Structure 1
Amino acid sequence: MNYPFDRDNPPEEPPARTDRLLWMVAYALRAEHEPGVDGFCVARTCVKESELWPCRRRSLADGGLLAAAWPLVELPGRKRRDART
């Protein structure tokens, strides 16, 4: 898949033609769930549950960024269909 953003370091500002609200919520969730030096997530909810990184919430946030930008994602062997233009 070709992503319209850097998956390792997505921009805080959503790319053009993405779902802005979904991007902002997913970005905020992603920013909370970072790896600690011990291999566990540093977010308070994950520390309480001793969740290894990447935790479930980080994976959910990454999926949210992808969903927000879905019309811009190019899949191999298939032409992109942009429903928002």
Structure 2
Amino acid sequence: MESFKPLAKEYDEKFEAFQEELRKWEETAERIKDVTFQRIQAENEFPELKKEREDRERWARAEKIRGDDEKHMLNKKRQKIKFV
């Protein structure tokens, strides 16, 4: 098994380098522009996709707001307990 350690280490290093290159590629303006164009084309062809995306975005915003509200309410409760 000792003979596999250098290979495993090399694999991990190369895989990490690959993932970094992939992250950089995914963030390029050209790719983002292309993905946006494809999304718009698909949503024009299939309106239900647009509705599903908008619903997901709406739920994500609502979850974020709810989470912030809960934190705010917990902080208020803690402050009331401290003063009592």
TM score, norm. by length of structure 1: 0.28
TM score, norm. by length of structure 2: 0.28
Q: Which has the higher contact order (CA 8 A, sep 6+)?
A: 1
